[in-house]
A and B are shown apart, each in its own frame.
Chain A
Amino acid sequence: MICKNEVCNDRKAKIHQITHHPYFGFFIITFLMLMVQLLRVIGVPISITLLRAFGITMIYIIVALGFSILLGYAGLASLGTAGFVGIGTYLLGYFTKNFGLSIFLVIVISILGAIVIGGIVGFISLRIEGMYLAIITLGLSEILNEVFKNAVSITNGTNGLGLNGILVIFKNPVVVNHNTIFIATAIIMFFMMVLTLNIIKSPTGRAFLAMRNSTSAAQAMGISILKYRLLAFVVSTVYAMLAGVIYMSYISFSIPTTWSLAFSLNILAAVIVGGSQSIYGIVLGTFMIFGLNLGVLQQFSFFQNNPAISVVFNGLLIILVIMFYPGGLIRLVNTTYHKLKKIVLKLMTKWRVYRYGSDN
């Protein structure tokens, strides 16, 4: 009835619509990442190691997102992540060095390869479940690691394969600025988050959850276990290999020791510490496991000299979180947010009573 109020409500509703859009949070995360880069460009003294820590964490967030679909939604435990990311890095390295293929073409090749590899592992997962699947994928990862070490003509063995910052964007090899790739990584991360959310909220995500809860009930509901197990593995492998390609283009160096069991376990830890069914939880978990180590602890000379201590630190963190917050850190964040809200409300009422007197 009252125009002024209506218009006001309309504006409020519009703002509410934007801030409560499902992709808004992802936008904020990406924006913060881009801000780090922007601050460095402006001249704020952010060291190159810190910037790299952010970049690598973003790449690992993509891996963790794929892994969370596998673990949190389809309920399949896999320890083969490191191998898949490694394949992605070597694909880019090999094709750029030997054939001068465009990075976009390599991405397409890696997606096709991921579909094949994910399909094979998914097919294995039909017969084997739980711990046994984890062991099988662990074995696969170790095999891949041995291949990385010994296929010297492709991977350059234990010396590691380096590109020296050279990439082929379209036709000719060029030296690409790190900052450009950082920005591209942030944007790709945003789209991967959006795609992950779309999968989770769609009938496919519901089918994954139904399958995780009970395979027989899922089958009775018309969900083909074969199709969805394969799909889960293919999706997670595509994420991992894409992240591998981005890693190689960003760091320009890949060495087999990076893609060992420890990496797979760290991704598993990141997903579990953060909260395996929440995208924000995964971002948080990845920052806890990788970002904290790369970005904060490595800044101190003490941790630089004793790298084993940061591993101990990570282990302690995992133990604490799993003991007290089995739902992941995101649960902790949610509960503290609600508690803080309550406390603020209480303080507000107290102040009001002081200022205006009690109601009666």
Chain B
Amino acid sequence: MVPIINELLITFHEKRINSIKTKINFNENYLPIKLQNITEKSEKKIKFLTLKAQERILPFEIAAGVESDYLKGKYNFHLDKINDKYYWKERAVKASASRKNLDPKDQVQTLLEEKNLEIKKLNNIYFPATSNDAKTEYNNQKAVIENELNSKVSLITETLNKKIAVTEALTQSKIDKLIVAKARLNEKLEKLTSKKEERYSLDQDVVLSIKNLSMHFGGLKAVDNLSFDVKEGEIFGLIGPNGAGKTTVFNCITRFYRPNSGEMYFKNIYGEVVHLNDKQVHNIIKEGIVRTFQNVEIVWELNVVDNLLVAAHTIYRSGFFGHLLNSRLLRQEEKVMRKKAEQILEDLSLGAYKYAYPLGLPYGILKKIELARTLMANPKLIILDEPAAGLNDAETDDLAKIIKKIQKDYNTTIFLVEHDMGLVMEICDTVCAISFGKKLAMGTPKEIQNSKIVQEAYLGGE
């Protein structure tokens, strides 16, 4: 009885710790967006105030005959308007004259005169005769207005700085509180776990461990007593002839199939070892395993960024009612996620396709979008099912570069099944060869290339 309660408590605490971690992550990511919004708002305000002040100074400038940039700009604006108006009038006159086979000279002349008159009027408004009194008046007024403006602007910047400091402090205090809560929970968890008998353990550098995995469909043994370890941070390739059971292994790891026997252990994003056999299909992603499929599985009705957001589904904290009412938390989360998705797309040089719809994009791009999508869920292990299938040589080279980049920049382990031996030998750190569900050999690409058993399996024995 007691161990069951213990177990339940442990899972409860783990869940709470995970939610706290996501909260901390969200707060950290949302801070820059919030700050940017605040600064943009106050910048807009300052711009508006300066414009207003300049408008107030303008009559005095005109009276004093001071040619400031603002005055010149406004004058030029009106001048351009007049020029434009008479340009079109002239064209209309010429066109109508040519239609009637008349000489437009007289009419053009009168138009020119009218235009000159209007420009003169404008000049009179903007550059009237000046007097010294007006100059002193201008200087006085300018000083007053600029003082006012400066005080207002400094007030705004002050409040802005205050706001920034407050929001930073608030977020920080929130994060601190969360960290404290997390530490407390961790302590409790440690106490609980110390009571319990040994949990699963893995070697330090191993991420995924498959032990004696077997899977048969009826009489066919698709996977037969297979065991291997995937080390942290490496690119692991699983190769084998057609029908060797590679995809079955994948489907067992991601729980689409339930293996007949065998154990699978995985060190998840939080550094805990979990028994994958106990997990459900849709919970695998929460542990940090993301997979792609042989044929691209993209949502065709959504644009590329939204497609990426689908993979972030488990990271959202807002629930259905939040979604229904478009709650504030959801809007904040959407901003954070969108920024992250755009960042990932830029990183993988897919920035041009951000808001494109996937229907009609080249196959190579779609494959890359699928790769980008896996990164949205903060994965620890990415499982790629034949990433190069259907790509040409140039696209495959590109893909190899991107896979290497993902492994390096995002600190992930990559586990792939591939038929393209060139790609496997180029990027993989470790290769495991299987045939008819049985392991043939495992080692570096060179070792596999030179292995006789593997050659036999591929080319047939003598």
Tell me, rounded to whole Å, the shortest Cβ–Cβ distance linking B103 to chain A: 15
B212 located at the interface, meaning its Cβ lies under 8 Å from any Cβ of chain A in the complex: no
Q: Are A206 and B299 in contact (CB under 8 A)?
A: yes
Q: Are A220 and B291 in contact (CB under 8 A)?
A: yes
Tell me, rounded to whole Å, the shortest Cβ–Cβ distance linking A321 to chain B: 20
Q: CB-nearest residue of chain A relative to B333?
A: A203
Q: Are B301 and A216 in contact (CB under 8 A)?
A: no
Contacts of A355 in B (CB 8 A): 92, 95
B325 located at the interface, meaning its Cβ lies under 8 Å from any Cβ of chain A in the complex: yes
Q: Are A216 and B256 in contact (CB under 8 A)?
A: yes
Q: Are B316 and A209 in contact (CB under 8 A)?
A: no
Helix, strand, loop or mixed for chain A's interface?
A: helix
Q: Hey, what's the 0/1 contact readout for B43-57 against A, CB within 8 Å counting as 1?
A: 000000001101100
A96 located at the interface, meaning its Cβ lies under 8 Å from any Cβ of chain B in the complex: no
Q: Once the chains are docked, how many angstroms separate the CA of A207 from the CA of B282?
A: 12
Counted as pairs of residues, one from A and one from B, with CB atoms less than 8 Å apart, the total is 110
Q: Are A220 and B254 in contact (CB under 8 A)?
A: yes
Contacts of A213 in B (CB 8 A): 297-301
Q: CB-nearest residue of chain A relative to B286?
A: A222
Q: Once the chains are docked, how many angstroms separate the CA of A195 from the CA of B318?
A: 16
The segment from A1-9, A170-178, A281-289 found at the interface with B is: A1-9
Q: Are A209 and B95 in contact (CB under 8 A)?
A: no
Q: CB-nearest residue of chain A relative to B91?
A: A356
Helix, strand, loop or mixed for chain B's interface?
A: helix
Q: Are B88 and A356 in contact (CB under 8 A)?
A: yes
The segment from A151-159, A223-231, A257-265 found at the interface with B is: A223-231
Q: Interface size of A by Cβ–Cβ distance < 8 Å?
A: 35
Contact of A220 among B91, B281, B299, B325 (CB under 8 A): B281
Q: CB-nearest residue of chain B relative to A204?
A: B323
Tell me, rounded to whole Å, the shortest Cβ–Cβ distance linking B69 to chain A: 8
A335 located at the interface, meaning its Cβ lies under 8 Å from any Cβ of chain B in the complex: no
Q: Interface size of B by Cβ–Cβ distance < 8 Å?
A: 49
A277 located at the interface, meaning its Cβ lies under 8 Å from any Cβ of chain B in the complex: yes
Q: Are A195 and B77 in contact (CB under 8 A)?
A: no
Q: Are B254 and A357 in contact (CB under 8 A)?
A: no
A47 located at the interface, meaning its Cβ lies under 8 Å from any Cβ of chain B in the complex: no
A131 located at the interface, meaning its Cβ lies under 8 Å from any Cβ of chain B in the complex: no
Q: Are B309 and A221 in contact (CB under 8 A)?
A: no
Contacts of B283 in A (CB 8 A): 222
Q: Are A220 and B285 in contact (CB under 8 A)?
A: yes
Q: Once the chains are docked, how many angstroms separate the CA of A205 from the CA of B73?
A: 50
B340 located at the interface, meaning its Cβ lies under 8 Å from any Cβ of chain A in the complex: no
Q: CB-nearest residue of chain B relative to A355?
A: B92
Q: Are A206 and B313 in contact (CB under 8 A)?
A: yes
A198 located at the interface, meaning its Cβ lies under 8 Å from any Cβ of chain B in the complex: yes
Q: Are A203 and B323 in contact (CB under 8 A)?
A: yes
A49 located at the interface, meaning its Cβ lies under 8 Å from any Cβ of chain B in the complex: no
B306 located at the interface, meaning its Cβ lies under 8 Å from any Cβ of chain A in the complex: yes
Q: Are B297 and A2 in contact (CB under 8 A)?
A: no
Known contacts A1-B73, A225-B282, A277 near B293 by CB under 8 Å: no
Contacts of B300 in A (CB 8 A): 213
Q: CB-nearest residue of chain A relative to B291?
A: A220
Q: Once the chains are docked, how many angstroms separate the CA of A357 from the CA of B96?
A: 8
Q: Once the chains are docked, how many angstroms separate the CA of A257 from the CA of B88?
A: 69
Query: In A1-45, which residues have CB < 8 Å from any B CB?
Result: 1-6
B38 located at the interface, meaning its Cβ lies under 8 Å from any Cβ of chain A in the complex: no
Contact of B282 among A1, A5, A204, A224 (CB under 8 A): A224
Q: Are A206 and B310 in contact (CB under 8 A)?
A: yes
Q: Are A206 and B309 in contact (CB under 8 A)?
A: yes
Contacts of A217 in B (CB 8 A): 293, 297
Q: Are A6 and B51 in contact (CB under 8 A)?
A: yes
Contacts of A216 in B (CB 8 A): 256, 293, 297
Q: Are A1 and B70 in contact (CB under 8 A)?
A: yes
Q: Are B282 and A198 in contact (CB under 8 A)?
A: no
Q: Once the chains are docked, how many angstroms separate the CA of A198 from the CA of B324?
A: 5
A304 located at the interface, meaning its Cβ lies under 8 Å from any Cβ of chain B in the complex: no
Q: Once the chains are docked, how many angstroms separate the CA of A354 from the CA of B92?
A: 9
Q: Hey, what's the 0/1 contact readout for B274-286 against A, CB within 8 Å counting as 1?
A: 0000001111111
Q: Once the chains are docked, how many angstroms separate the CA of A252 from the CA of B46?
A: 60
Task: List the 8 closest pairs (A to B, CB-CB), nearest first.
Answer: A217-B297, A202-B323, A357-B95, A222-B314, A222-B285, A356-B91, A219-B281, A224-B282
Q: A1-B69, A198-B326, A221-B377 are in contact. List 17 more A-B contacts (CB 8 A).
A: A1-B73, A6-B51, A198-B323, A204-B323, A207-B310, A210-B299, A210-B310, A220-B281, A220-B285, A220-B293, A221-B282, A221-B311, A222-B314, A223-B282, A223-B310, A231-B320, A356-B92
